A and B are shown apart, each in its own frame.
Chain A
């Protein structure tokens, strides 16, 4: 297990390599990382709250998604501490919010959750990569709102044709150029551009329709 204090130089290099492997979506790196963080967070959450194992894993997976997006788009910058500490902090933040939603009036629970934070120290609070900065869901689009939008998105995506789904994922998720997306579909760049416009419009309309109804 990596130490939780700032790493010595030799460990920093291996940690940087690890983060790079995560950033480029190395499957083994992500599997090991998932397992390692789950072994820290799940027992931690189960001991300190009445959360069920299923809920703990739901919170954990959402935190891992957030962590993954921030590693890949550069919002996470390595500052000498292990990336597992970063992931754990996000897990913990989300877990606290979950517990507070379940038991908003339990003041002792709130006290013990806020106090027992193994990563909270003076240095962490004052730097730009503070816990609040790391784990602020507003860095994506908010916490509760995400659930409703994701459902609308999933419904909209399910109703798209296979071609549209492929094109939209190629463009928006993989960030490929229209030429590359066109090659994948066996069409010219110009046709891919027109198709992408139509598919995006269709996707957009479906999404807005489902989002309005909720």
Chain B
């Protein structure tokens, strides 16, 4: 390499925007005539951009770790717990445990009875089963009679999609009141997949917020709407609700 130390330093100053106007213009004239200088400029630009990138990466990794430790980052639903095979205990030595087992069973029975009979937040528990489930995606072009709604200007469709995403994220993170305020406007006119889906999430939000009556009205309506993206889930939830209430 035949570039002088001064030339290489000038490249550094140029890359860092540390030249005044005259200096910059002079340097750019030199650059036009010197391929080696152009190459050095390219390399120093790569170094600078790469260093900036690495610095930012380090910073965001730190932010990510802090937020993850606080438990506030969005996550996929946890997978079901593994089924552990039951292996019966060996018969020898069991007899001396019978007394303790009987006492433990009695305590368990009393406890279960208390759990069964005490008022429980059934709605919120049911809602949690569905809030984190994989959301329904719109079908490809569907000309069937049951297709919900009529074609809308693309902007409205996209706005509804994004607003629903935001509301669901709020619901998943436990901000139910805010989610409700976002979902209600979306469900005023059911014209596309996204505001139909918003109806479903509004029902779940009502359940979470202990507004069971409003939730049931919506769930029943969805269960009876042919072509609704969550018709099947609404049927399922309505049955679960009926089962819970009958206990």
Taking beta carbons and an 8 Å cutoff, which residues of A are in contact with B? 1, 4-5, 30-31, 34-35, 38-40, 42-44, 46-48, 53, 57, 61, 64-65, 68-69, 108, 111-112, 116-121, 140-141, 146, 149-150, 153-154, 157, 168-169, 171-173, 175, 177, 193, 196-197, 200-201, 203-204, 207-208
Contact = CB atoms under 8 A, between A and B. Distances in A.
Given A34-B63, A69-B52, A169-B55, 17 more contacts: A4-B163, A30-B63, A35-B67, A38-B67, A40-B165, A42-B73, A48-B137, A118-B159, A153-B54, A157-B54, A171-B16, A172-B16, A175-B17, A175-B18, A193-B9, A203-B47, A204-B43
14 contacts: A1-B170, A35-B72, A38-B74, A47-B134, A57-B64, A61-B57, A61-B60, A111-B140, A140-B49, A150-B50, A157-B54, A193-B9, A197-B5, A200-B12
A197 B53 contact: no
A38 B67 CA distance: 11
B60 A69 contact: no
Given A149-B46, A203-B47, A173 B55 contact: yes
A53 B66 contact: no
A120 B157 CA distance: 11
A173 B52 contact: yes
Interface residues of B, number: 54
Contacts of B163: 4
Contacts, number: 140
Contacts of A149: 46, 50
Interface string B143-186: 00000000000110011011101101110110000000010000
Given A172-B47, A204-B43, A43 B60 contact: no
A123 B76 CA distance: 34
Contacts of B240: none
B166 to A, nearest CB: 5
B8 interface: yes
A119 to B, nearest CB: 7
A120 B158 contact: yes
Contacts of B49: 140-141
Contact of B61 (A61, A116, A157): A61
A34 B67 contact: yes
B53 A150 contact: yes
Contacts of B18: 175, 177
B43 to A, nearest CB: 6
A193 to B, nearest CB: 7
